[in-house]
Amino acid sequence: MDETGPDIRFEGVTKRYAGAAVSDVDCAIAAGSFVALVGGSGAGKSTLLRMVNRLVEPDSGRVLIEGADVAEGAAHLLRRRIGYVFQSIGLMPHMSVAENIGLVPRLAGDAPADVAALLEMVELPAAYAVRAPSALSGGERQRVGVARALATGAKLMLLDEPFGALDPVTRDAIGRRYRALHERLGLTSLMVTHDMAEALLLADRILVMAKGRIVGDATPAEMLAGRAGEEASALVAVAARQAERIEALKA
């Protein structure tokens, strides 16, 4: 597609709770890129991601989307321009699939969502529109969550451990489907994941966080070549050891 999602810039962003969850982060995310945030628990990944749509407000610094400070204007209007997919999915259990997908456009007073087209994007039959979330598998519910995030025409997608609750086969399949969707729609995607293998396989660029700071910034190829620092190398080593152990079991 000619049109791509917006760029994001973090300028000196800091957020403190008991300690520094995010500390003086400066980083730019290019329009149309797929960037993964990785690191151990408590590294600051989700906090940094949620500052983009103001689910978390920074104590200092700025987050810019296409050069505009996200703090300017109402948070709910900002969120209508940003897709947000998270692990627990959060579908309304009393609403049908179609009602869940069309909820945000309806609340915003926009044109009704094209539910059939959105279901087709995430490779679900149009007949699923009338089903309740409880009638779907975990993978199907997560795909509905992606469709809901796309329903407002958002070109910026935030994904917070989006596939973490799924079984490995479903997780891999949905990850690949989402990557293809990212390419087809020209999205900008920022994804938090604990799974280094997932980051290496899906992302164009990987940011490694530790103690609230970005300590590694590289492409998957650079990560695998050990050119992104000690923290990144340690995470890659875990994925490599797992692959080696699986290969050894085949012998």
| Secondary structure in 3-state letters for the chain | CCCCCCCEEEEEEEEECCCEEEEEEEEEECCCCEEEEECCCCCCHHHHHHHHCCCCCCCEEEEEECCEECCCCCHHHHHCCEEEEECCCCCCCCCCHHHHHCHHHHHHCCCCCCHHHHHHHCCCCHHHHHCCHHHCCHHHHHHHHHHHHHCCCCCEEEEECCCCCCCHHHHHHHHHHHHHHHHHHCCEEEEECCCHHHHHHHCCEEEEEECCEEEEEECHHHHHCCCCCHHHHHHHHHHHHHHHHHHHHHC
Assess whether pLDDT exceeds 70 at residue 40: yes
Region of poorest pLDDT, from 65-69, 117-121, 174-178, 244-248: 244-248
Q: What share of the chain in percent tops pLDDT 90?
A: 45
Averaged confidence pLDDT in the chain: 87
Report which of 83, 151, 159, 143 is spatially closest to residue 117, judged by C-alpha positions.
Answer: 151
Q: What is the pTM of this model?
A: 0.87
Whether pLDDT at 98 is above 80: yes
| pLDDT tens, residue by residue, 191-226 | 999 888 889 899 999 999 988 999 999 998 888 887
Domains, the chain, in order of start with CATH, read 8-81+154-250 (3.40.50.300)
What average pLDDT does range 30-35 have in this prediction? 96
Rg of the chain in Å (alpha carbons): 18
- pLDDT of 123 over the 80 cut: yes
Specify the length of the chain in residues: 251
Residues 6+ positions from 131 with CB-CB distance below 8 Å = 96, 97
State residue 50's pLDDT score: 95
Range with top average pLDDT, 29-38, 87-96, 242-251: 29-38
Read off the pLDDT of residues 78-94 as tens digits, 9 standing for 90 and up: 988 899 988 767 789 89
Better-scored residue on pLDDT, 166 or 13: 13
The C-alpha atoms of residue 90 and residue 142 are separated, in whole angstroms, by: 9
pLDDT score at 72: 94
| Of 39-53, 134-148, 207-221, 234-248, minimum mean pLDDT range | 234-248
- % of the chain with per-residue pLDDT over 70: 93
pLDDT above 60: residue 1: no
Mean pLDDT calculated for residue range 85-112: 85
